[in-house]
Chains A and B, each alone.
Chain A
């Protein structure tokens, strides 16, 4: 049982490059989330998808876009990476919104 799987685990980008972080869950969950975690800042919500076909902004959406491809997959895209986007990114899923969420292993992104 894989749970929530994120790819890649590590990535280094140059300023201005674009990339997509992939996330897939096999728990048949309806809701999926993207958080970023920075030292001293805790986990901050970037975007979430309450159900397939819907997405909503969280606390820090600027510079990001998301796609809920199907019930299993929720991707996060950085169109033009900036050093301020250097962070650890976590994808999570839950059976429905506002109940316990389960996290992927994280993607450590460095923008130089």
Chain B
């Protein structure tokens, strides 16, 4: 069973700090990786995607990918209370659709 693993949290950070969210995956053939944000009672919303090793930055968000270690992370700089949500890591799995981790709950305190 190919899997995507995330620490469920909660991850608590003070306002203005950097939040670091991590994800590992088991399928070495995976080619694309996604981070979704989900507020309580709402649907998942795409934040970022990354296809190549290294870093990809978009505003306060940076996605990092290391295929050799099968590891993908999301950094949120200058965290705000509005960033408090569950963050879902998703990985493409050859032959099917996106496979999701169980999510990490982030809490940003003001």
Chain A interface (Cβ within 8 Å of chain B)? 31, 33, 35, 40-45, 48, 56, 58-59, 90, 97-106
Q: For residue B98, which residues in chain A have a CB less than 8 angstroms away from its CB?
A: 33, 45, 98, 101
Which residues in chain B, 11-38, are within 8 Å of chain A measured between CB atoms? 31-32, 34
Within the complex, which residue of B46, B97, B103 is in contact with A42, where a contact is CB–CB below 8 Å? B103
Asked whether A31 and B97 contact (CB < 8 A) given A43-B44, A43-B88, A98-B92, the answer is yes
Where chain B touches its partner, the secondary structure class is: loop
In the complex, A101→B36 CA distance in Å?
10
Within the complex, which residue of A31, A41, A58, A106 is in contact with B102, where a contact is CB–CB below 8 Å? A41
In the complex, A59→B93 CA distance in Å?
12
Name the distance in Å between B50's Cβ and chain A's nearest Cβ: 11
Q: For residue B8, which residues in chain A have a CB less than 8 angstroms away from its CB?
A: 40
Chain B interface (Cβ within 8 Å of chain A)? 8, 31-32, 34, 42-46, 49, 88, 90, 92-94, 96-103
Contact B46 A106 (CB under 8 A): no
Contact B97 A58 (CB under 8 A): yes
The 4 closest A-B pairs by CB, nearest first: A42-B102, A98-B92, A43-B100, A103-B43
Name the distance in Å between B7's Cβ and chain A's nearest Cβ: 13
Contact B97 A90 (CB under 8 A): no
